[in-house]
Amino acid sequence: TSIWKAFLFTPKFDPVGSNGCFSTHVCFCSGNYVTHHDPPLLFDISKDPRERNPVTPATEPQFHEILKVMQEAADRHTKTLPEVPN
């Protein structure tokens, strides 16, 4: 009955505390512009649509299983993608 969303990394918003990358006008998705999350941030967007309260292994007993199922789905999808020229 849940809809899950995971963040492996998030942009470093600028200025700190904002909800955007105002100094660059776009949020970059690599290098020093992101914060990596281990474990990933996991949200139950059916209960928390504004993504304000990530669940944790302590608050969600199936945390690791949910992430495993999500990764398996991403892996299956990746296998369907054809190679293209760079």
Structure confidence by residue, pLDDT tens digits, 20-51: 888 888 888 889 889 999 999 999 999 999 99
Give the Cα separation of 8 and 41 in Å (integer).
Answer: 7
Give the mean model confidence (pLDDT) for residues 47-76. 96
Length of the chain: 86
How many angstroms from the chain centroid is the CA of residue 60?
17
pLDDT at position 84:
95
pLDDT over 90 at 14, yes or no: no
